[in-house]
Each structure stands twice: as structure tokens, then as C-alpha cells.
Structure 1
Amino acid sequence: MFAVVRAYFKDGVCIPSREGDSYNLCGRGALRLLVDGDSSSGAVGVEANADAELADWPLDISVKADAAAFVALTNAQIYDGPWQCNQAYVGKGNPEECAASPSNYPKRPSAELDVAKWWIQPWATPYFGEDFPDLLPFTVALLASLKDGGYLALLAASSGDLSGYLWSGWTAKAYMGVESRRIGRSWILAYGLSGDPYEALRRAWRALAARANLRLRADKRRPEFLNYLGWCSWNAFLADVSGPGVVDVVRGLRERGVSVVWALIDDGWQRERKVEQPCCLNRVLTSLRPDEGKFPGGFEKTVEGLRSLGVRWVGLWHTLNVHWGGFDESVEGELGVAGIPYVAAKAPPPAFPEALLLYKRLYTSLRGFDFVKVDNQCSARLIARYAREKVGRASASLQTALQLAADQSGLSVLNCMSMNPENYSNYFLSNVMRTSNDYLPYWREGARLHAISNAYGSLFFSEVVWPDFDMFSSYDPHAKLHLVLRVFSGGPVYITDRDPAKTNADLLKMAVLPNGEVVRVDFPAVPTRDVLFDNPYRGRRLLKLASTVRGKAAVALCNVSDRRAADFLSVGSLPYEYVPEVYYKVFSREGGRLQSGGVEVELEPLDCEVVILSRAGLIGLAEYILPPYPVVDGRPIAPGTPVEIR
């Protein structure tokens, strides 16, 4: 199923020849291909010793798979977004123009995309076999239906010296980041095979977790604040955030009856200087203290103000490299740890325990917070490049240090810009990860793309993290779609409302109990069987995400096409076995006995319905997106109207 087909030296290409368990590198060394596993799951790795320098992308490994259909995630950029929507949301642009911006998804990646790039898009966007019959560069995950029956799951991985990516021509490329004569044992790909597609993915993740710096979601702590409604400053203020502004918005929301229980101060709090570099490498941190003009008296006054309003958890944003362009010598002095030269500034050393000490001192200086959002994690590759370290070891050191420092400081981590093997392969403690590009307010096509990106991001990553579908505005024209999908993610549900007077409190109350607790599914919802390989963006089917809530089947059906669409929710398409007797449509408030093994649903573009499938009897409370959630042991735990179907 796997074979080494090319080796790349600093001075040329070699076609290796197989000699027993090893490969002869054209007389210049030897390589072992490691396939550790069986016919159901395993991992693919390499180790090599050569007499000449191997290139920074040293190997191609062929993958033999006869796929009838597939869905995959790529880090290559396959659509462009109108970032001016962010400005329109804060009153500096035209919302109508933003809303009408077209989409070029799925665009073929630029012909200039090549393996020499040190930085790639941090997001993983879904594409399907019908879009591109061959794999795209920088593919990180794949699920294929095989022509001879069964399903194959492949996951790109990072460990040892290397990172792996699936690539055009059904190959896996190994990335080392530096030239070297030696490759230590490195696992770059995990696989799972099964007659069930979801089990194929589970097997692949278990195989990777057994060999990488990784634990599965179910084996890690879930941050408690995820159970409640949150608010984030990013879209509300962009980089113009201030302490008084944050407190004023949260106060206004709570006065409207919106029970925000956690708040996140995003980018913009820093003291920084600009340097001659592209965005956002041009922003260099000059102090660990916040901008005094934005946060008079430091963070303490803002945090105290939020807590006085009933906010229980307060979080702060920073990047893996501390700030977009790194930090200067004054911050290096505050941290007491020598950084490495990085673009026009400094960055954390990708070595252990030096990086651990740096992050611990960073968190000591930021006392008073309960969690951190760590952005720009794709910078691990660039940090490794500047340090002249092998990318697998450098990223493992950075992630290990970050997670241990946060844990020892009592902080949970929201991971962002991290859908690359260098990051997710090392989440041994972190348990929340963004699964899409940024939310862009108002953009109609963006709502469609955000929906499918998160839906299929959840399919591939929910075995190892709680997916974060990003913040949204409750008065966005497509807020209902955004809210429903976030409730079904099982991850954080948080808004970025700027004007509390516009906040859609009635919509939010469908997802939030009076104490601020969010109604939520038992596990992250994943696409149903009938849409695994049929892109709902095309309009042939509704997007369907299925989980359970209090043991009852729950399915979100959303029309992410550009026209009215109807579809049939079949019980047989659920990702688990369940034998219901009745159904209930939450937004239509209608239900009955199941007929023909399912339910018909018809929706306008960007609208959603939620269907609960259950045994006959009490379904739950009608006022909530997930009616069964506020009913425990047959008794309601919140006010509402009981729904019974016999």
C-alpha cells in the first residue's frame, strides 16, 4: 500500500531501489520505510542515513488506494474571502457590498504553490473528489470510499524529525525543514480501514495517538467554560479593543438578558512597533504590559469589571510566537529567556526546556486570566526554519512547552490557526481547536463556506479536540445558521456582538439556559452518511450534522446551497445505530410517528431545521434548539413548554 518513490538530495533527485526491508538511496545511503500496523490501522514512518545532505523536503511515498469517492482537507488556499467585511461590521465599510461578494470556491491552488514554501495557510478547507479527481498539495486528512468495498482514512502527521502531507499523485511528502544526512524515526502518516467510514477515522486517530505526542479528545479534560455562553472582542472591535469598551459591551449584553459567562480579549491589547515586513509579520511586541491608552491601569481593572458583571472566566489572546512578528529585546528581558532571531525580531526558542520557561514566565506576567487563545500556531514551521531545527522536533518542543506552561499556570488553551500536522499531532493536553477560517460578518457565501468547513473539520478532527466553529454576531443576517451549527459542535458558543441594542436576544435564548449554560450535544456532531462524499455546497443535499442529546438522536439540517432545497433525513444515514419511533422538528414545532424510516425537510437557502428522533414520550422543552437538553431524569431543569409525542 505504501512505497518510497523518490528521495531528494540537496544536489538532485534519486529513485530509490528496494533491497529487502530497506531502500538504497542511489548508493548514497539507506532508508527504512516503517509500516507499523495491520490490515485495520497503523502508521507509516521512515528513518534514514545518507552520505550527502538530504533536502528539506526529502521524500515522496506513494499511496496505493483505488478510491471511488473521497472527501479531504487541504491547507492550500482554495477560496478567497472579502476581508473588508470586518471593517463593514464596525461601520467602516458597506455591509451590502460585503454581503454580495462572490465566492471562488473551490479554486485550484496557485500554480506557484511549491514545496519550498515555509508558510502555508493554517486552515484546512474541505474538497471532494468531484471537485478535484487528484489530491491537492498540503492535504492533511482524507476519507475515501474504496471501489472494492470499505473505507480508508489517512491522516498527515508530525513526529520525530518530520512532518507529512498528502500530495498530488496520491503521494505523501515528508518535510524536514532543514538539510540533513540523517532522519531519525519519524511517523508521517496514519491510516485506518473499516467497513464503516466513521470507524476508519477512529482507527486512524488511535493509530496516530499511539505513536505521536497526542491524546484523543475523550482522554483529555474539557475546559469548563465551554459549557457556557461567551463573548469575544475581535469582530466587535478588531484591533481597536479597549478595557472600557469590553466592559461596556458585556454590561449591555447582560442588561438585555443575555447571560454571557466568559469573555475573551482578542488581538489589539498590545504595545507594539511596526517594522518593514508583510502583514502580519510587521507587528512586533515591545512590552508584556497592555497599551496604557487602551487598558488604563492594566488588565486588572478590566478583569475586575467583567467579574463584577457575573463573568466567571476571562481569556486573553496571544500567538505561539508571542506576537505576530515576534518580540523585541525589551520583552526578551522581561521574559528572562533568550529568543531566537526571527524575521525582524525574536521568537521563542524551539527547544525544551527553554521554551517551557519562556511560556511560564509569559503566563506569570499575565496573571488574572483563566484561559488563553493561542493564535498563529502555523508559525511553528517558520520558527523552526529560523532556528535551523528539524520541523518535527521543533514543533513538538514548542507545543509541549506551551501546553505544560498553560496547564501549570491553571490556564486552558483555545488553539487557533493550527490545522497543520505540526500542531494537531502534538495536542496531548489541548482539547479545543478552531476548525475553519475566520468568521466574516454579513458575507452570504462566507456563511455557506464556514458551514461546510466546520462540518467536515468536525468529521476529521473531533476525535482529538472539541471543534471551535469560531465566534459570530447574533445580528448577522445568517445568525440562525451560525448558532445552530455551533450548538451542534459541542465546542464553544460565543458571540462577537458590537452593539448590544441590536443583539438578537430571543435567538440566543433558544441556546442558553437562564444561568448562561449552553444547550449542547453529547459529542461533536459529524456529517451523516449520505453527505460524506456529496458536497452540500452544490445543492443536491442538505448539510446534515448528527449527534445525540441526553441519548436522543439530534440532527441539524441546513441548506448551504444558493437555492431552495428539499431532502430526506433517513434514520439509516445516522453515524450510529438508533431505533426511533417519533420525530420532532424544533423550529417548525411539529412532530409525529416516523413514516418510511425518516423525515422530509425543505429549506430556503441558509436556513436550518433541527430534528429530534426519539422513543415515544417526552421529547423536551419546546423553547430550546435542543429540547431534550434541559430535561434530566424526566424533570425539566429550566422553564419551558414540555413536548410529548406518543
Structure 2
Amino acid sequence: MDDDHGRLACFEPDGPSSSSSAVRSNLPPAVNEAGLNWSYGQLPGGQQLRVFGPLDKGVYFQGQNTSIDAYSPEGSAIFNPNARQPEILIQPAFNFGNPLHPAGSNDFSNEISVYDDIVTPAVDSVNPHFGANQEVYLENFDNYPSLRETHGYGFSMQDHSALPWTSHYEDQHPWTETMISLPHVVGNQGFPNGENGSREETEMTTVLSSLSVASQTPSPGSSRNKSEPDITSKEMFAKLVCNPPLGQATVIPPDTESVTFSVLLEVDPASQKQWQIALWHDLGGPDDEWKSADFQEVSADQEMLHVQCSTSPNKNQRRIYTLELPGKPNSQESFVRFTIKFRPDNDSPWKWARDHTSLNDGVLYYQASNFKQQELSHYLKGIDSDLSIETIAAETPDTSLWSLTAPVAPAVGDESGTSTHSLGLPFNFTRWFALVRLWIPWLAPRHGQGKFRPDKDAILASFLRHDGLHVVVLAISGVDDVLTVLKYDAEGNVTIEGKNDDEEPGISRVIIAVASTFEVANAAVMYQARRIAMAYAKSTGALEAELEAMKLADVKPEWLEGWSDGFAFCTWNSLGQDLTEDKIYAALDSLEKNDIKITNLIIDDNWQSLDNEGMNQIYRGMTEFEANKKGFPQGLAHTVSKIRKDHPSIQHIAVWHALMGYWGAIAPEGKLAKEYKTLKINGPDWTAIDPEDIMRWYNDFYSFLSSSGVDSVKTDAQFMLDQLGSAKDRRRLIRAYQDAWSIANLRHLSARAISCMSQTPQMLFHSQLPSNKPKLLVRNSDDFFPDVDSSHPWHVFCNAYNSLFTQHLNALPDWDMFQTSHPWAGFHAAARCVSGGPIYITDSPGQHDIDLIKQMTAKTPRGKTVILRPHRLGKSSQAYVGYEEQQMLKIDTYVGMSHTGISILGVFNVSQNHLSEILSLNDFPGTEKGEYVIRSHVGGKCTKPAKQSDKKISVCTELGTKGYDILSAYPILGPFEVKSGQVSVAPLGLVGKMTGAAAIVNLDTTVETNGRLRIWISLKAFGVYGIYISDLAKRSIEEEFMGLLFGKPIPLHCVKKSGTDENVLEIDIERAWNEGEKRVTWSNEVNVEFFIS
């Protein structure tokens, strides 16, 4: 290898690249400083290699598709997924992405384009996910293109060799090299039928060599000299966490006079050093001059709640440092960059946080004091002249809103008409977020920096600008047979692509909003989209038909609440595809034996009567309404009747079916094909019910189900309508099937239905957005895959980001079933609890985590098992944080009335590294007014009371792999003057439950004339009722407290001080009920009165 001083050694399969030095010398600082978290290099044979590890400065890909350059200043093993995430630096002559993992596919392998001028690198922060096996992923793109987005194929470094790194130093720029031998392709990591992306043996050797990358600006001490002392040894330094975070963009509201910075430094327990922390920033300096500001250590540790969800306890010293950064940038569209430097004492050199966390500079975007209405051209350059633009009034405050339309050519014969229009080039933005069509039935999030380049068609995109404003773009479909999506062109313009199935010219519709927060802009476009969708439904008569069906069905709101709040069991992963009634009976008996009382049962796929036994599901069609004789010999009605008799706690029984009958639609020779008009679709492949007869077919089908005792359905494979190839079939079937299904489930099942695989744009806007009918349960993401380890954090991440869109639908997002006896069970359970949607399990018989189930559920006085759903749907609290950015996923939700209720924040570690973050009350929506305590579900402890204006660190959260917690901010009530003095309280709901705050129905506090504080609360169910009491430690339970349950005294032994928090009183009302008379009143709620003297 050529290691001459100052030269770049770059190896390709055929030898060194002659152009390497030239590329290096011409590499501009803008490219060097562009921070990414992942990338891949294209290798021979159409395969891809992921490069990852603790590359402290980054990886650089040269323009040729077989050349990769990398370096690590610390000489760490590059293939180490447990290290802090590296930065990746890309020259945009090399298109890049992640085609291998569902977390963030970006496949530009067939679109290699070279840019003559490098101005803004094409950067993206979407990342792959690496499991504990240290996998290097490869894939042959030519095989299974429709599946490559789902899982990918892997190499395990445990099975293949990797030469160790060797460290060098040149001009104080260290570099290293490694050689990786990848002898052969291993198979599938989770495809249902075990497909292998490439069955050929492949020999390849890749040499990764280093590149001297420009150091951080400014860079005093950014590279370590060999003579400098190592202050990062185990006994000296452990961890540094900053808020606002490094590597992220933080928007500063217009009324903020100064920004509070907080740093948590963890050092070895034996360290006696007086550590110094400084903020390095460019606020207020001429020509972006950077300057230093010193942090002050504060004694806030005793007031800070430290939440730790890790397999190994953290014994380090924790030191807290804060500072105030006053002032604002000189220009509205300017921003402030910052990083942290630190040292153990005055005699040691400064070290940079970036060198030890692999995190880029943090950025602050300051919003202007007054929101100004601007023209759309202020945000997008080069809008096509044939777009019609209308400024409209928004329903949200301080929002600019536009409606854009573009002509779409008509369909000709079976070919749909298409058109593409440029929406323009977004500018002055830093990050983007999009929801894309992962594949036909599902949506998924994408994130990036630089040019807008999603790998898939997007329906929603948002851009965070340098002035702190958010530009949200929404493409509307399902109107006039036009499908509209967002794409991009080579110049970075957002493009509108329309597909028209109608024989008349059509219109693509796009809504754009600009506001000071993503949530406001997002709500504005969704509200306008609903107006458009509702007007179209009214014009077609679909609206009146649904309203008439709902009137005839006399749908009761309480029925729907019982359906969505009940704890459910699904047979799919539990019992497999060879389904029989005996297996269902055995599974339900197992649940009963373990005292698991389910409310809802879902009988999933394979109960139906089908043709072509033994063939793939896609080739099997539904023959008749009745269940198959092999598994259900006495018919569906008999099975349902026996279930209801043996298990009276089960209130609702649902069955699965595909929207078109089954995966292969209707059997061409079956009873149904003889009784109803049919047609051939997608050529001769499928037989389907003709749209002229689909209303009658659904009416008869659901009438049969209802007469059999089935009162709900899970209707799957709805995306198959969007797979129809003929424009004629599409315009005849897509709306007709949706309307027939909606009316039938309203009329016969009182809207108890789960819509699945239905995130196609035509269904999102036509069936799920209009608010003229009861909310449906709608699956919110791809399936739960119990055997694919890397799928679990992605599953939760994807649902949280999809909910940014689906929260505005007339739907209850369903995050899918999961298993409680699974390594990721707690992670999934916590996510389901904060989702605000249904919870159903699919445990194998006898394999249950009873304690986990009790954390998710509670029993009512009437014996019903319910879940505790927050009042608002859970969603990601941060729109622009990518999957592999080494940041915790935060899901926020809320219980109660605005600004007086309880704010809930679920925190999840979706990475393979231990993560720590600092949280304050500002991270909890709805806590702007008043004083709060924050309680950790996992740790069972509360913070000290705080206000947002206090600017205190409230919580330091440390999560290991698979780590999670649910933090709830409870408003402090009081102080109240009682006999013993002043006291403040906060009713906590049911403290043993993940979302126990959602158990609170009503609450009232009064001070009686005798000087006692009366706290009256109505709860949804039984459990351990917790109350935060400010001076509990000095109070006597026997002398100063009294409790009543339904007016009867609560025994003293049911009341105790918490073992985890000295200020929390625990009242076991479930035990008190079980030991008492158990008198059921007219109400299904639990009424508790508690008195404090």
C-alpha cells in the first residue's frame, strides 16, 4: 500500500485509483463538514457494502463506484455496531443510500450521476440498523426487487475474517486501514419463504484506506498529538450529554431571550478532577467567528430524576453544568452552531465532544418575532408555470396555506394517463422529513439533509428552514380517479407526479402550508385535505349512503369505545396458518388458566373455505361464506357459540378476510362465483366480484357473519386494488369496493372493523380521512415480525412517524399485535400503551408474561379487562430525527384537557448503543403553564416540582439496547391550607400501569370546613392508586389520612408509602375491592375519596 506522506492511498479491485489525489485536493470544506450517519459503496456484481463503526471524523466515497476511502483516528475496529455512530462524508458524484433495510431505503444504484460543481453534498441521515451479530450487509439488486426493502441479506463478522486496524499519523491526521474478506453470500434474514438474494458464491476483498478530512471549524486541538495525555481513559471520562443536543437542529421560539444549555458529565467514581466545560459557538461573531463560554457546575443532581433502563447499573459520578446563551443572530435567516469542549483541569488540553461522541455540531434556528405572510416563491424556486396556485385561509393560526393543482392527461384504453410537474426547489432549509410508499400497502418515514431525495414516492414532505419555519407539502389522492405523489429531479426540485385512471383529463392536487411548528403546518394541510375529500364524497353520493347506513345501524359511541378499549388476542403468530377450532379453544383455555381475561378475539387468516389447497395463498380464492370443513367441521356459528359460552369475558369476536375475499380474490369455480357477477382482473389471473354486484356481495357476506355470532372484522389486503393494472378496472373497482365495505361494516357490524394493508393514497383520502362516520381501527405500519430481531425497533419508530400523518385521519391507528414472552416484549408493550390505539397480543399457548400484561391492562368492577388509552394519539415528538442518528425516539401523548391534563412522553432506544439524554419540562407538550412533577414508570420515582420557566434539568434518561421508559408530567394541585399546614398534591392515576394516568376519568379537590383536603377521583378500573404528596415523608398514615372506596372505608393495610419514592402514597384499591363486598353499582367506574388532615 502506498503510504507516502500526504498522499491518499485508494484501492480498487484492479489497483489504485489514479484520480484519488486529485479528488482529495479538490474536496471542498462543505463536503468535509457534511455530517451523515451511514452510507454504502457500490461493489462489483451490483452488490452493496455497508461501512460503519466509530469513524471519528468520517468516511469519504470517491466518485468511482468501486472505490471507498475511510479512516479512524483512534484505530478502532471499523465493524463495531456497539460504538457511537460515525459520521459519513459523501462526495455527491457518488449516489448513495440504503437499499437493504426497512428503516431507510435509498436506492440510487441505477441513477449514477456526476456533478461538475460540488456545492451542497447530497446528504441523508437515514441509517441501517445493525444487530448484535455485527453484520455487513450485501444484496444483489436484480433478485426480488419488491422484497429488498424489507429485510436484506447479511454477512456475520463472527464467521468471516477482518484484519485489525493499524494506526498512523501524518501531519497530525491519523489514518488506518483494514481488509475485510467476504467469502460468500449468506441467505435470507427474515423473508417468509426463505428466498436468497444471491445463491452464488462470491469472493471479494475490499481495502478501506483513510482520507485526511478537514477538521471541525474552528479546530484548535481537534487532532490529538501523540505527546498529549489521554484524558479519555476509563478512570477519567465516561460520558457527556448536552441539551440542546449535539448533531441536531433545535428551533428557538421567538419570545426566547436566552437559550439554556445543560451538560451532564459522567466521570469515574474515583475522579477528583475539577472538570471544566465550555460552549464553543458562533453567535454574534463577525464573519462567523467562534467564541467560548464557560459552563458553571450546579448542585442540581439531587433534584434531577435519573432514569436508567439498562442491564448494568451506572456507578459513575454525575455532574451537571449549565449556562445561558443570551442574544439572537443578526439576520432572521441566520443560525447558530455550537459544540462542547471539556478538560479535567487547567493544565490539560481541551478536548472536543465531537471526537468522543461522533456527533456533529448542534444548530439553533431562531424564529422571527412576528410571523409574516409571504408568497409561495419565498419558499420554493422555479415553480412550473402551468401549476394553478390559490392562496386560501388556514384553520390554524399564523399559517400560510396554498392549494395547487396540475393537469393530468386522461387514460387511453387500459393505460393510465400520467404527468410530471416541478413544484420547485426548496431553499434555505436544513433537514427534511417525508412519508413514502414503502411498498403498495404501507407508508414509512424517510429523513435527510441537503437535497430532497427520497428513495420512494412520497405523499407528505416537510422542510425545516434556517429561519425556524416549517414548509409542509401534501399530495392528495382519491379524488377524480387521480393518484398524486411527490418525487424529485436531478436538480433537487420537488416534482408532482399524477396518474389518472379516468378517460377525462384529471387534476393533481397538492396542499402547502408554512408555520412556526411542524404540527401546525401539518394540521393545516390535513384540514384542507379533509375539506376536499368531504366535498368530493358528497358530490359522488358516497357521503349520503354512509350516513344512511349509520342511521339504520344506530351505532352507539359506547359500543365503539368498548371495542377499541378492550384487551384483545389474535390467532396469527400464536397459532400459525394451519388454523382449526380446536387450536383456538386450546389457546383460549390457556389464557383463562393464566387468569388472562381478554375482551376481544380476532380469528385471523385460514378459517375460510378456499380452492387450490396446498398452493401459495395468492393463487387461492374464496369459494363460499361458510368456514372450511376441515378446521371448522360444524361451521363458523358453532365455533363462535362455543367460544362465547366457555369464555363469557369475550365480548367481541372478529374474523379476518381480504377486501376482495381472499388473497387470490374469488374462486372461479366456487359457489360465490356462481351466485354473483364476476370479472377477470389483471388479465386472466384473478376472478373478482364485479363492481355492479359488490354492494350485494358485502351485504350478504356480513349478514352471514352477523348471523354466525361474529360482530367485527379485520379486512386485509386492501392494497390489491392499487395493484390493478388496467385503468378501466382501477376506476371501476377502487372506489366501489371501498364504499361497499364501509357501508356493510356500518350496517352489520356497527363499524367494528380493522382496516389492514390500506395505506394506499386512494384509501387514505377517500375512506379514512372524511369525518362523516365513526372512527375505524386502521393498521399503521407493516407487520410485527417476531423472528426478525432488527425489525422491532424499526417497527416502533415507523409507527411513531407514520402517526404524524395518521393522527389526522378519522381513524384509530393500530400498531399491530405482539407477543408478551418475547425479548422485545416490554419495548412493544410500552409503545402500544402510548400509541393511543388498540392493544392485542398473539402469544403462543402457555407463553405469557403476566406481569407485563398487568402493566398494560386493568379490570373494571364488572370484570372486564380494559387497556388505558391516552386521550390523544401517540406520535413522534420530533419530525426530523432519523432512525440511526443515535437519538432516543420520543413519543408524546396526553390525558385530559389542554394545559390542565397529564403529558406523557415515551422514550425508546432504537439504536444498538447505550444512549443518554437530558430532558426538561419543555419536552412535555401541554406543560407551558403551572408546576409539574415528572414520574418514571420504570423507576417509579418522581422529580421535584418544576415549571418550564425554571429552566431546570428534570430528567436524565439512560437507556440500554431494548431500553424504554414512560415519563408522565402531572400538574401540581395546591398548595392547600389544611390542619397541619400547607400541602400540594398530584393524583397519579394507577401507578402500576404503563399509562396509569389514562385511568383518571374525573378529579375534584376541595378543602372542607374542618380543615381536611378531600381528593375525589373517578378511575376507569382497579389497581394501585398513587398520590404525590409534597410532605408525605413527615406524615403519619394512621393519623392523617383516610380513604373511601365506593363510600366504604379502605383498610389501613391497603395504604402505604411507596418503596421507590418518599413523596408517593399508594392505595391498593383492587385489594380493597377484592377483600370487600364487591357491590357493583350502576357505574362502571371506580370512585375513590381520600382525605388529608
Do they superpose with TM above 0.5?
yes
Paired residue for 1:375? 716
1:548 paired residue among 881, 885, 894: 894
Superposed displacement of residue 562, structure 1: 0.4
Paired residue for 1:171? 495
1:475 paired residue among 809, 815, 821: 821
Paired residue for 1:486? 832
Superposed displacement of residue 450, structure 1: 0.3
Paired residue for 2:996? 627
Paired residue for 1:583? 934
2:970 paired residue among 614, 626, 644: 614
Paired residue for 1:59? 419
Residue 463 of structure 2 corresponds to residue 144 of structure 1: yes
Superposed displacement of residue 375, structure 1: 0.8
Superposed displacement of residue 225, structure 1: 0.9
CA distance in 2, matches of 1:263, 1:211: 37
User: Alpha-carbon deviations, 1:97-150, whole Å to 9, x = none?
Assistant: xxxxxxxxxxxxxxxxxxxxxxx4311111101498413332122232134442
1:568 paired residue among 894, 897, 918: 918
Residue 435 of structure 2 corresponds to residue 73 of structure 1: yes
1:454 paired residue among 784, 795, 799: 799
Residue 1026 of structure 2 corresponds to residue 642 of structure 1: yes
User: Alpha-carbon deviations, 1:163-220, whole Å to 9, x = none?
Assistant: 1111133112111247x4x224x4543333221211111111111111115999xx99
Is the 2:624–2:672 Cα contact (8 Å) retained in structure 1? Answer: no
1:522 paired residue among 866, 871, 876: 871
Superposed displacement of residue 484, structure 1: 0.8
User: Alpha-carbon deviations, 1:207-246, whole Å to 9, x = none?
Assistant: 1111115999xx9965531101001111112221111211
What's the secondary structure of 1:304's corresponding residue?
helix
Paired residue for 1:534? 881
- Counterparts of 1:172-571 in structure 2, within 5 Å, are 172-177=496-501, 180=503, 182-184=504-506, 186-213=507-534, 222=560, 224-274=562-612, 280-308=617-645, 309=647, 310-331=649-670, 333=672, 336-343=675-682, 344-349=685-690, 351=691, 354-367=693-706, 368-383=709-724, 385-386=725-726, 388-391=728-731, 394-410=733-749, 411-427=751-767, 428=770, 429=773, 431-464=776-809, 465-499=811-845, 501-514=846-859, 515-528=864-877, 531-535=878-882, 537-550=883-896, 551-571=901-921
Superposed displacement of residue 485, structure 1: 0.7
Is the 1:544–1:558 Cα contact (8 Å) retained in structure 2? Answer: yes
CA distance in 1, matches of 2:450, 2:758: 25
What RMSD, in angstroms, separates the aligned Cα atoms of the two structures?
3.0
Q: With a CA cutoff of 8 Å and minimum separation of 6, indicate the structure with the bigger relative contact order.
A: 1
CA distance in 2, matches of 1:49, 1:436: 32
Report the residue type matching 1:325 in the other structure: G
CA distance in 2, matches of 1:198, 1:253: 41
What's the secondary structure of 2:430's corresponding residue?
strand
What's the secondary structure of 1:274's corresponding residue?
coil
Report the residue type matching 1:200 in the other structure: A
What's the secondary structure of 2:965's corresponding residue?
strand
Superposed displacement of residue 305, structure 1: 2.4
CA distance in 1, matches of 2:696, 2:403: 33
Paired residue for 1:604? 960
Moved more, 550-559 or 52-61: 52-61
What's the secondary structure of 1:154's corresponding residue?
strand
Is the 1:433–1:468 Cα contact (8 Å) retained in structure 2? Answer: yes
- Counterparts of 1:2-151 in structure 2, within 5 Å, are 23=386, 33=388, 35=390, 37=392, 40-47=400-407, 56-64=416-424, 65-66=426-427, 67-76=429-438, 120-130=439-449, 133-151=452-470
Is the 2:834–2:995 Cα contact (8 Å) retained in structure 1? Answer: no
Is the 2:875–2:892 Cα contact (8 Å) retained in structure 1? Answer: yes
What's the secondary structure of 1:454's corresponding residue?
helix
- Structure 1: which 5+ residue stretches go unaligned? 3-15, 24-31, 77-119
Superposed displacement of residue 49, structure 1: 7.1
What's the secondary structure of 1:140's corresponding residue?
strand
CA distance in 2, matches of 1:373, 1:71: 31
Report the residue type matching 2:663 in the other structure: W
Report the residue type matching 2:881 in the other structure: D
Is the 2:698–2:744 Cα contact (8 Å) retained in structure 1? Answer: yes
Report the residue type matching 2:988 in the other structure: I
CA distance in 2, matches of 1:438, 1:420: 16
CA distance in 2, matches of 1:239, 1:631: 40
CA distance in 2, matches of 1:124, 1:533: 16
Instruction: Give the 3 Å change call, closer, same or farther, for CA 267–147 of structure 1 in structure 2.
Output: same
What's the secondary structure of 2:786's corresponding residue?
coil
Paired residue for 1:114? none
Superposed displacement of residue 597, structure 1: 5.2
User: Alpha-carbon deviations, 1:490-511, whole Å to 9, x = none?
Assistant: 1110000112x22001111011
What's the secondary structure of 1:259's corresponding residue?
coil
Pairs aligned (count): 564
Instruction: Give the 3 Å change call, closer, same or farther, for CA 387–364 of structure 1 in structure 2.
Output: farther
Moved more, 149-158 or 325-334: 325-334
CA distance in 2, matches of 1:497, 1:298: 25
Report the residue type matching 1:259 in the other structure: K
Counting aligned pairs with the same residue, the percent is 20
Superposed displacement of residue 327, structure 1: 0.5
Superposed displacement of residue 357, structure 1: 2.1
User: Alpha-carbon deviations, 1:270-294, whole Å to 9, x = none?
Assistant: 22223999x5422222222211111
Is the 1:287–1:330 Cα contact (8 Å) retained in structure 2? Answer: no
CA distance in 1, matches of 2:510, 2:674: 37
Is the 1:191–1:204 Cα contact (8 Å) retained in structure 2? Answer: yes
CA distance in 2, matches of 1:389, 1:419: 20
User: Alpha-carbon deviations, 1:59-108, whole Å to 9, x = none?
Assistant: 112223334212212113xxxxxxxxxxxxxxxxxxxxxxxxxxxxxxxx
Superposed displacement of residue 42, structure 1: 4.6
Relative to its length, the structure with more helix (as a share) is: 1
CA distance in 2, matches of 1:347, 1:36: 44
CA distance in 2, matches of 1:51, 1:539: 44
CA distance in 1, matches of 2:693, 2:505: 24
Is the 1:227–1:518 Cα contact (8 Å) retained in structure 2? Answer: yes
CA distance in 2, matches of 1:413, 1:154: 31
Is the 2:410–2:417 Cα contact (8 Å) retained in structure 1? Answer: no
What's the secondary structure of 2:798's corresponding residue?
helix
TM-score, normalization by structure 2? 0.49
Superposed displacement of residue 33, structure 1: 4.0
Moved more, 550-559 or 577-586: 577-586
What's the secondary structure of 1:502's corresponding residue?
coil
Moved more, 54-63 or 460-469: 54-63
Is the 1:244–1:302 Cα contact (8 Å) retained in structure 2? Answer: no
Is the 1:68–1:145 Cα contact (8 Å) retained in structure 2? Answer: yes
CA distance in 1, matches of 2:445, 2:384: 36
Is the 2:569–2:841 Cα contact (8 Å) retained in structure 1? Answer: yes
CA distance in 2, matches of 1:399, 1:190: 24
